[in-house]
Structure 1
């Protein structure tokens, strides 16, 4: 299912406190950056690591707030969204994650599309008429949407060399978002956004920012470890990788999953990174998202969700590891019958 409801982003009323709430990955950061380049405002920033998506809870109850939300799940945040609206707030919501359709409310402006070739920054790009499109290209590459990124870049005449620079930037910003806590990251997402805010053009950021150099050097060191990883289990339909409880592994997990998915085969992949509490953070990439969506598999497990091509589980219990592995290999098997695998314990 997909939908898009678009109205102008309303101006902040003088009696409302402004909040910008965004995912700490490339898509969330670049979506906000595009929007504020065109519609600047001072607002309280609310963000976190990529898996920290229940962000609307940080807005105090009873406060009339003007909230812009970018790239966090409507399913997870729906109860708090309704609370903010009932408190008299107004919300502009941009998102591409699967699982819920739009609902009407006088205080809500919703831009939502869960098509597998769309990310939140592409929704913002549409809303703004493409005036900051280079940043949408950066975000699409970061979200592993290479085809849409290349198409957007071609529409504004980006040459091959510069396209590679935008791709690298997107992947670096996205790589920086992965961690169990902000301390795992090279740069906190709100600090990285504030660093970007001074740059209208991403090429100026690439060639002039200390943050870019820090991310580039950090990625080089972590990627060296990534090259030695091998599957913990593997079938015709896909492979599962297990990464240790270490900051480098948490940082590289999403990039590694995207790299596996970019091989262009119908195989699917799961990258499980051990948490400090003994559980696992799970990243799933579907090789055939329209036939077997990643989010459908992850939705069977507590704290799971995402979109068709890429989804995850925020905390898979250690004693559910074998159950997940069986479900993964059955679900992505070529002869899968499209039901719920019998060995999945659906809560």
Structure 2
């Protein structure tokens, strides 16, 4: 019997798997990547008696390989909050799917585990920019304001680490970061024990966000704003958390962070207004390589000649 843990390389994916493996330790093959690497089941070769856990990756984007694994006899636990498409009917599949804008995979795993490691779920929710949901989830934990802030910052830093065009852009490969965090059943211990890993995450985040703070929007209306970032590692790392930061500062406005790519096209990150957490995935799916969820979505490779069309569509989406 072989085990495979397949997970998004962002905070939500990592914190989801942390909860599961703290509750049920396994020696599993880890399959992950940068945040935008979501068609991950294609890397799994599994059959009868094997177990596959898939976390925070769109079932719709992995549908063919999911069906292949089920046909080969693998048992699959699939937990996610993105658009799933058609969910296969199989006794070998346990699917926990919820597209609600106020939830994330970490929160779904937390419910599945009956709150066994809910502090890590709080970290994952903060990382997914679900501040209200994370704060509500943390309320029964009786955390001090300082401790809650530490969990929020950790979620932001882990999420920040997942962004890049490839693993070379990241401070830590997500699989390595997961292994480092697995030593801590309580995430506050990771923050406070003086380890170099946390210090590296925090310093990298602060440096890159300082670079982003000097940017002004390329286009801005009362409805939406678009920021253009250069083809640089710091810009690729900061693109997602910068979008979250903008959404928090201007909750009634939609935002897009558009990062130049070496091929001349653009990597696009979209955040719906916090006051109207809907429509982001509908917008992005109008373009090839687009996907995501209602509140946050993106386009992996927007052709340069479609940039103006995208900017117009962004404003139109939220002017309805």
Give yes or no for TM over 0.5: yes
TM-score, with normalisation over the residues of structure 2?
A: 0.96
Asked whether 1:190 is paired with 2:151, we answer no
Q: Is the 8 A contact 2:252 2:275 kept in 1?
A: no
- Alignment match, 1:211: 197
| Other-structure match for 2:79 | 94
- The correspondence for 1:170, drawn from 155, 160, 165, is 155
Equivalent runs, 1:6-155 vs 2, <5 Å: 16-60=1-45, 65-100=50-85, 102-155=87-140
TM-score (norm 1): 0.89
Change (3 A) 1:329 1:38: same
* Higher deviation after alignment, 201-210 or 108-117: 201-210
1:328 and 2:314 matched:
yes
Distance 2:84 2:91 in 1: 22
Q: How does 1:294-309 map to 2 (within 5 A)?
A: 294-309=280-295
8 A contact 1:116–1:289 mirrored in 2: no
Query: Quick one: structure 1 residues 165 and 288, their matched pair in 2 at CA, closer, same or farther if it must change by over 3 Å?
Result: closer
User: Paired residue for 1:237?
Assistant: 223
- Unaligned 5+ runs, structure 2: none
Alignment of 1:330-345 (within 5 A): 330-333=316-319, 336=320
Judged with a 3 Å threshold, the aligned counterparts in structure 2 of structure 1 residues 79 and 64 are, in CA distance, closer, same or farther, namely farther
Counterpart-to-counterpart distance in 1, 2:115 and 2:274: 29
Q: Deviations over 1:54-97 (max 9, x none)?
A: 00000137686310000000110011000000011110000001
* Length, aligned pairs only: 319
1:100 Cα shift?
2.5
In the alignment, the residues of structure 1 paired with residue 238 and residue 211 of structure 2 have an alpha-carbon distance, to the nearest angstrom, of 9
- Provide the rounded CA distance (Å) in 1 between the counterparts of 2:61 and 2:89: 18
1:149 CA drift (Å): 0.5
Q: For residues 158 and 264 of structure 1, do their structure 2 counterparts lie closer, same or farther at Cα, with a shift above 3 Å needed?
A: farther
Aligned to 1:5: none
Instruction: Name stretches of at least 5 consecutive residues in structure 1 with no aligned partner.
Output: 1-15, 337-347
Counterparts of 1:256-275 in structure 2 under 5 Å? 256-263=242-249, 265-275=251-261
Q: Alpha-carbon deviation of 1:265?
A: 2.6
